[in-house]
Structure 1
Amino acid sequence: MTKKKAHKPGSATIALNKRARHEYFIEEEFEAGLALQGWEVKSLRADRAGKANIGDSLRAGKANIGDSYVILKDGEAWLFGANFTPMAVASTHVVCDPTRTRKLLLNQRELDSLYGRINREGYTVVALSLYWKNAWCKVKIGVAKGKKQHDKRSDLKEREWQLDKARIMKNAGR
Protein backbone atom coordinates (compact mmCIF):
# COMPACT_ATOMS: atom_id res chain seq x y z
CA MET A 1 0.00 0.00 0.00
CA THR A 2 1.33 3.44 -0.85
CA LYS A 3 1.32 6.29 1.59
CA LYS A 4 -0.39 9.55 0.81
CA LYS A 5 1.91 12.49 0.25
CA ALA A 6 2.09 14.94 3.10
CA HIS A 7 0.61 18.24 2.00
CA LYS A 8 2.42 21.31 3.27
CA PRO A 9 0.01 23.89 4.65
CA GLY A 10 0.14 27.21 2.84
CA SER A 11 1.85 25.80 -0.23
CA ALA A 12 -1.34 25.71 -2.29
CA THR A 13 -1.43 29.45 -3.02
CA ILE A 14 -0.18 30.34 -6.48
CA ALA A 15 -0.82 34.10 -6.63
CA LEU A 16 -2.50 36.79 -4.53
CA ASN A 17 -4.03 40.08 -5.58
CA LYS A 18 -3.18 42.24 -2.56
CA ARG A 19 -4.00 45.42 -4.44
CA ALA A 20 -7.65 44.38 -4.82
CA ARG A 21 -8.23 44.53 -1.06
CA HIS A 22 -6.60 47.97 -0.97
CA GLU A 23 -8.53 49.39 -3.94
CA TYR A 24 -11.97 47.82 -3.30
CA PHE A 25 -14.46 46.88 -0.60
CA ILE A 26 -14.98 43.13 -1.11
CA GLU A 27 -18.63 42.33 -0.40
CA GLU A 28 -18.94 38.68 -1.40
CA GLU A 29 -16.47 36.00 -2.46
CA PHE A 30 -16.91 33.04 -4.80
CA GLU A 31 -14.68 30.10 -5.66
CA ALA A 32 -14.49 29.38 -9.38
CA GLY A 33 -12.75 26.72 -11.38
CA LEU A 34 -10.45 27.79 -14.18
CA ALA A 35 -10.42 26.30 -17.69
CA LEU A 36 -6.68 26.05 -18.41
CA GLN A 37 -4.66 24.68 -21.30
CA GLY A 38 -2.01 22.03 -20.74
CA TRP A 39 0.99 24.35 -20.85
CA GLU A 40 -0.62 26.62 -18.22
CA VAL A 41 -1.15 23.76 -15.77
CA LYS A 42 2.37 22.50 -16.37
CA SER A 43 3.80 25.96 -15.82
CA LEU A 44 1.87 26.48 -12.57
CA ARG A 45 2.83 23.04 -11.26
CA ALA A 46 6.50 23.72 -12.08
CA ASP A 47 6.25 26.96 -10.13
CA ARG A 48 4.89 25.06 -7.13
CA ALA A 49 7.13 21.98 -7.20
CA GLY A 50 10.34 23.19 -8.79
CA LYS A 51 11.38 25.96 -6.44
CA ALA A 52 14.39 24.09 -5.05
CA ASN A 53 15.52 22.39 -8.25
CA ILE A 54 18.49 23.41 -10.33
CA GLY A 55 17.49 25.25 -13.48
CA ASP A 56 14.54 27.05 -11.91
CA SER A 57 14.85 29.93 -14.32
CA LEU A 58 14.03 27.58 -17.20
CA ARG A 59 11.27 25.60 -15.56
CA ALA A 60 9.47 27.92 -13.19
CA GLY A 61 6.34 29.52 -14.53
CA LYS A 62 4.78 32.51 -12.84
CA ALA A 63 1.23 33.76 -12.48
CA ASN A 64 0.18 37.37 -11.96
CA ILE A 65 -3.44 38.30 -11.24
CA GLY A 66 -2.76 41.85 -10.06
CA ASP A 67 -4.55 43.51 -12.97
CA SER A 68 -7.17 40.84 -13.56
CA TYR A 69 -10.93 41.27 -13.53
CA VAL A 70 -13.99 39.24 -14.49
CA ILE A 71 -16.41 39.97 -17.32
CA LEU A 72 -19.81 38.29 -17.60
CA LYS A 73 -20.70 37.75 -21.26
CA ASP A 74 -23.25 35.45 -22.94
CA GLY A 75 -24.10 33.71 -19.67
CA GLU A 76 -20.46 32.86 -18.92
CA ALA A 77 -17.75 34.37 -16.75
CA TRP A 78 -14.33 35.19 -18.25
CA LEU A 79 -11.09 36.15 -16.49
CA PHE A 80 -9.28 39.03 -18.21
CA GLY A 81 -5.82 40.38 -17.49
CA ALA A 82 -4.35 37.34 -15.73
CA ASN A 83 -0.80 36.64 -16.85
CA PHE A 84 0.53 33.06 -16.82
CA THR A 85 4.17 33.06 -17.89
CA PRO A 86 4.98 29.98 -19.97
CA MET A 87 7.95 27.79 -19.16
CA ALA A 88 10.99 28.27 -21.37
CA VAL A 89 11.14 24.51 -22.00
CA ALA A 90 7.48 24.21 -23.04
CA SER A 91 6.52 22.51 -26.27
CA THR A 92 7.40 24.54 -29.35
CA HIS A 93 4.41 23.49 -31.47
CA VAL A 94 1.92 25.12 -29.07
CA VAL A 95 1.42 28.88 -29.26
CA CYS A 96 1.50 30.14 -25.68
CA ASP A 97 -0.51 33.32 -25.10
CA PRO A 98 0.22 34.39 -21.50
CA THR A 99 -2.60 36.95 -21.32
CA ARG A 100 -5.44 35.09 -23.03
CA THR A 101 -8.92 35.25 -21.54
CA ARG A 102 -9.76 32.20 -19.46
CA LYS A 103 -13.20 30.81 -18.80
CA LEU A 104 -14.33 30.61 -15.18
CA LEU A 105 -16.31 27.56 -14.18
CA LEU A 106 -19.27 28.57 -12.02
CA ASN A 107 -22.69 27.02 -11.60
CA GLN A 108 -25.77 28.83 -12.87
CA ARG A 109 -26.89 29.98 -9.41
CA GLU A 110 -23.52 31.67 -8.81
CA LEU A 111 -23.59 33.28 -12.27
CA ASP A 112 -27.09 34.65 -11.64
CA SER A 113 -25.96 36.06 -8.31
CA LEU A 114 -22.97 37.74 -9.98
CA TYR A 115 -25.17 39.20 -12.75
CA GLY A 116 -27.56 40.64 -10.17
CA ARG A 117 -24.78 42.17 -8.12
CA ILE A 118 -22.71 43.82 -10.85
CA ASN A 119 -25.71 45.42 -12.54
CA ARG A 120 -25.80 47.83 -9.59
CA GLU A 121 -23.90 51.08 -9.87
CA GLY A 122 -20.19 50.96 -9.05
CA TYR A 123 -19.77 47.20 -8.62
CA THR A 124 -17.24 44.99 -10.37
CA VAL A 125 -15.83 41.48 -10.02
CA VAL A 126 -12.10 41.08 -9.36
CA ALA A 127 -9.81 38.09 -8.90
CA LEU A 128 -8.50 37.84 -5.34
CA SER A 129 -6.32 34.74 -5.31
CA LEU A 130 -5.25 31.78 -7.42
CA TYR A 131 -4.62 28.48 -5.64
CA TRP A 132 -4.65 24.69 -5.83
CA LYS A 133 -7.52 22.76 -4.33
CA ASN A 134 -6.67 19.07 -4.49
CA ALA A 135 -5.56 18.67 -8.12
CA TRP A 136 -7.64 21.56 -9.47
CA CYS A 137 -6.62 25.16 -10.02
CA LYS A 138 -9.17 27.53 -8.48
CA VAL A 139 -9.55 31.29 -8.45
CA LYS A 140 -11.26 33.23 -5.68
CA ILE A 141 -13.26 36.11 -7.10
CA GLY A 142 -14.98 38.88 -5.20
CA VAL A 143 -17.83 41.28 -5.87
CA ALA A 144 -16.21 44.63 -5.17
CA LYS A 145 -17.04 48.31 -4.90
CA GLY A 146 -14.29 50.87 -5.42
CA LYS A 147 -12.88 52.77 -2.44
CA LYS A 148 -12.45 56.51 -2.34
CA GLN A 149 -9.12 58.02 -1.31
CA HIS A 150 -10.31 58.85 2.21
CA ASP A 151 -11.45 55.24 2.68
CA LYS A 152 -7.97 54.00 1.79
CA ARG A 153 -6.42 56.44 4.27
CA SER A 154 -8.76 55.40 7.07
CA ASP A 155 -7.97 51.73 6.41
CA LEU A 156 -4.26 52.52 6.60
CA LYS A 157 -4.74 54.39 9.90
CA GLU A 158 -6.77 51.50 11.31
CA ARG A 159 -4.08 48.99 10.31
CA GLU A 160 -1.35 51.12 11.88
CA TRP A 161 -3.38 51.48 15.08
CA GLN A 162 -3.85 47.69 15.29
CA LEU A 163 -0.08 47.21 14.97
CA ASP A 164 0.64 49.87 17.61
CA LYS A 165 -1.95 48.36 19.94
CA ALA A 166 -0.41 44.90 19.58
CA ARG A 167 3.05 46.35 20.24
CA ILE A 168 1.80 48.18 23.36
CA MET A 169 0.08 45.06 24.71
CA LYS A 170 3.20 43.00 24.10
CA ASN A 171 5.42 45.47 25.96
CA ALA A 172 2.90 45.99 28.79
CA GLY A 173 3.52 42.47 30.11
CA ARG A 174 7.24 43.12 30.60
Structure 2
Amino acid sequence: MSKKKQNKTSSNTIALNKKAKHDFFLEDKFEAGMELQGWEIKSIRQGKVNLSDSHVFIKEGEAFVTNCKIQPLESASSHVICDPNRTKKLLLHKRELDKLIGSVERQSYTITATAMYWKKCWVKLEIYLAKGKQSHDKRDTIKDRDWERQKSRVMKNAR
Protein backbone atom coordinates (compact mmCIF):
# COMPACT_ATOMS: atom_id res chain seq x y z
CA MET A 1 0.00 0.00 0.00
CA SER A 2 1.19 3.48 -0.70
CA LYS A 3 1.02 6.29 1.77
CA LYS A 4 -0.59 9.49 0.59
CA LYS A 5 0.68 12.84 1.79
CA GLN A 6 -1.98 15.03 3.24
CA ASN A 7 -2.03 18.54 1.86
CA LYS A 8 -1.68 21.16 4.54
CA THR A 9 -4.28 23.85 4.17
CA SER A 10 -2.71 26.16 6.76
CA SER A 11 0.47 28.12 6.27
CA ASN A 12 3.63 27.30 8.17
CA THR A 13 4.10 30.96 9.08
CA ILE A 14 3.50 31.76 12.73
CA ALA A 15 4.33 35.48 12.87
CA LEU A 16 5.74 38.18 10.58
CA ASN A 17 7.61 41.40 11.24
CA LYS A 18 6.35 43.65 8.43
CA LYS A 19 7.98 46.70 10.02
CA ALA A 20 11.46 45.30 9.30
CA LYS A 21 11.15 45.78 5.51
CA HIS A 22 10.09 49.37 6.09
CA ASP A 23 12.87 50.22 8.56
CA PHE A 24 15.84 48.30 7.10
CA PHE A 25 17.57 47.29 3.87
CA LEU A 26 17.51 43.48 4.26
CA GLU A 27 20.60 41.78 2.81
CA ASP A 28 21.70 38.32 4.01
CA LYS A 29 19.12 35.78 5.21
CA PHE A 30 19.72 33.17 7.92
CA GLU A 31 17.49 30.48 9.41
CA ALA A 32 17.90 29.94 13.14
CA GLY A 33 16.40 27.45 15.53
CA MET A 34 15.18 28.64 18.91
CA GLU A 35 15.68 27.30 22.40
CA LEU A 36 12.13 27.30 23.78
CA GLN A 37 10.31 26.06 26.85
CA GLY A 38 7.20 23.88 26.81
CA TRP A 39 4.71 26.64 27.63
CA GLU A 40 6.16 28.72 24.78
CA ILE A 41 5.53 25.96 22.24
CA LYS A 42 1.93 25.68 23.42
CA SER A 43 1.45 29.43 23.03
CA ILE A 44 3.11 29.42 19.61
CA ARG A 45 0.70 26.72 18.45
CA GLN A 46 -2.13 29.05 19.45
CA GLY A 47 -0.50 31.91 17.49
CA LYS A 48 0.19 34.19 20.46
CA VAL A 49 3.48 35.62 19.13
CA ASN A 50 4.55 39.19 18.35
CA LEU A 51 7.81 39.88 16.48
CA SER A 52 7.29 43.57 15.72
CA ASP A 53 9.89 44.94 18.18
CA SER A 54 12.23 41.95 18.27
CA HIS A 55 15.97 42.46 18.10
CA VAL A 56 18.81 39.95 17.72
CA PHE A 57 22.09 40.55 19.52
CA ILE A 58 25.37 38.68 19.93
CA LYS A 59 26.83 38.05 23.38
CA GLU A 60 29.92 35.94 24.09
CA GLY A 61 29.81 34.27 20.68
CA GLU A 62 26.13 33.29 20.88
CA ALA A 63 23.03 34.86 19.32
CA PHE A 64 19.96 35.81 21.33
CA VAL A 65 16.61 37.34 20.43
CA THR A 66 14.92 39.81 22.73
CA ASN A 67 11.47 41.46 22.70
CA CYS A 68 9.98 38.46 20.92
CA LYS A 69 6.75 38.42 22.91
CA ILE A 70 5.12 35.03 23.43
CA GLN A 71 1.99 35.44 25.51
CA PRO A 72 1.39 32.57 27.98
CA LEU A 73 -1.88 30.68 27.91
CA GLU A 74 -4.23 30.82 30.87
CA SER A 75 -4.23 27.02 30.92
CA ALA A 76 -0.42 26.80 31.24
CA SER A 77 0.95 24.92 34.22
CA SER A 78 0.67 26.81 37.48
CA HIS A 79 4.09 25.68 38.72
CA VAL A 80 5.95 27.29 35.78
CA ILE A 81 6.79 30.99 35.87
CA CYS A 82 5.96 32.34 32.41
CA ASP A 83 7.92 35.40 31.28
CA PRO A 84 6.59 36.67 27.92
CA ASN A 85 9.70 38.82 27.28
CA ARG A 86 12.26 36.14 28.05
CA THR A 87 15.49 36.35 26.04
CA LYS A 88 15.73 33.26 23.84
CA LYS A 89 18.92 31.67 22.54
CA LEU A 90 19.20 31.16 18.78
CA LEU A 91 20.73 27.98 17.41
CA LEU A 92 23.11 28.70 14.54
CA HIS A 93 26.17 27.04 13.03
CA LYS A 94 29.59 28.40 14.01
CA ARG A 95 30.36 29.81 10.54
CA GLU A 96 26.98 31.58 10.47
CA LEU A 97 27.71 33.10 13.87
CA ASP A 98 31.16 34.18 12.69
CA LYS A 99 29.65 35.92 9.65
CA LEU A 100 27.05 37.67 11.82
CA ILE A 101 29.65 38.77 14.38
CA GLY A 102 32.00 40.08 11.69
CA SER A 103 29.28 42.03 9.90
CA VAL A 104 27.89 43.57 13.08
CA GLU A 105 31.25 44.58 14.53
CA ARG A 106 33.15 45.65 11.40
CA GLN A 107 30.50 46.83 8.96
CA SER A 108 27.91 48.25 11.40
CA TYR A 109 25.07 45.95 10.35
CA THR A 110 22.18 45.09 12.59
CA ILE A 111 20.39 41.75 12.87
CA THR A 112 16.62 41.74 12.68
CA ALA A 113 14.02 38.97 12.90
CA THR A 114 11.49 39.00 10.07
CA ALA A 115 9.45 35.80 10.42
CA MET A 116 8.77 32.84 12.67
CA TYR A 117 7.57 29.63 11.06
CA TRP A 118 7.27 25.85 11.45
CA LYS A 119 9.75 23.60 9.67
CA LYS A 120 8.60 20.03 10.22
CA CYS A 121 8.19 19.96 14.02
CA TRP A 122 10.66 22.76 14.84
CA VAL A 123 10.12 26.47 15.24
CA LYS A 124 12.50 28.48 13.07
CA LEU A 125 13.27 32.19 13.10
CA GLU A 126 14.17 33.97 9.87
CA ILE A 127 16.80 36.62 10.56
CA TYR A 128 18.49 39.09 8.23
CA LEU A 129 21.64 41.16 8.27
CA ALA A 130 20.29 44.63 7.70
CA LYS A 131 21.28 48.27 7.33
CA GLY A 132 19.03 50.97 8.74
CA LYS A 133 17.07 53.20 6.36
CA GLN A 134 17.03 56.97 6.62
CA SER A 135 13.71 58.80 6.50
CA HIS A 136 14.15 59.80 2.83
CA ASP A 137 14.76 56.14 1.93
CA LYS A 138 11.53 55.19 3.65
CA ARG A 139 9.65 57.86 1.70
CA ASP A 140 11.13 56.56 -1.56
CA THR A 141 10.01 53.03 -0.70
CA ILE A 142 6.47 54.21 0.02
CA LYS A 143 6.41 56.22 -3.20
CA ASP A 144 7.61 53.24 -5.27
CA ARG A 145 5.06 50.92 -3.67
CA ASP A 146 2.23 53.39 -4.37
CA TRP A 147 3.38 53.78 -7.97
CA GLU A 148 3.43 50.00 -8.49
CA ARG A 149 -0.07 49.75 -7.06
CA GLN A 150 -1.34 52.58 -9.27
CA LYS A 151 0.38 51.12 -12.34
CA SER A 152 -1.28 47.74 -11.79
CA ARG A 153 -4.68 49.44 -11.52
CA VAL A 154 -4.13 51.29 -14.78
CA MET A 155 -2.99 48.12 -16.57
CA LYS A 156 -5.97 46.20 -15.20
CA ASN A 157 -8.41 48.83 -16.48
CA ALA A 158 -6.64 49.09 -19.85
CA ARG A 159 -7.42 45.48 -20.75
Letter in 1 for 2:32: A
User: Shift of residue 3 of structure 1?
Assistant: 5.4
Q: TM-score, normalised by structure 1?
A: 0.86
Structure 2 segments unaligned to the other structure (5+ residues): none
Alignment match of 1:115 (pick from 101, 113, 128): 101
Q: How does 1:77-88 map to 2 (within 5 A)?
A: 77-88=63-74
Which residue of the partner structure matches residue 26 of structure 1? 26
Change (3 A) 1:82 1:74: same
Whichever residue aligns with residue 127 of structure 2, its letter is I
> In structure 2, what is the equivalent of residue 12 of structure 1?
12
2: distance between equivalents of 1:136 and 1:39?
15
Aligned-residue offset at 1:43 = 1.2
In structure 2, which of residues 45, 50, 56 is the aligned counterpart of residue 64 of structure 1? 50
Distance 1:4 1:28 in 2: 33
Equivalent of 2:77, from 91, 94, 100?
A: 91
**Which stretches of structure 1, 4 residues or longer, exceed 3 Å deviation after superposition?**
1-5
Which residue of the partner structure matches residue 143 of structure 1? 129
Deviation at 1:121, TM superposition (A): 4.7
Separation in 2, partners of 1:43, 1:16: 16
TM-score after normalising by structure 2: 0.94
Alignment partner, residue 40 of structure 2: 40
C-alpha displacement of 1:4? 4.5
Number of paired residues?
Answer: 158
RMSD: 1.4
Deviation at 1:6, TM superposition (A): 2.8
Aligned residue number for residue 62 of structure 2: 76
Secondary structure, aligned partner of 1:120? helix
Work out the CA distance in 1 between the residues paired with 2:111 and 2:14: 20
Gaps of 5+ in 1: 48-61
How far, CA to CA, are the matches of 1:95 and 1:44 in structure 2?
17
Separation (CA, whole Å) in 2 of partners of 1:6 and 1:161 = 37
Distance of 1:152 and 1:21 partners within structure 2: 10
Instruction: Indicate the SS of the match to 1:114.
Output: helix
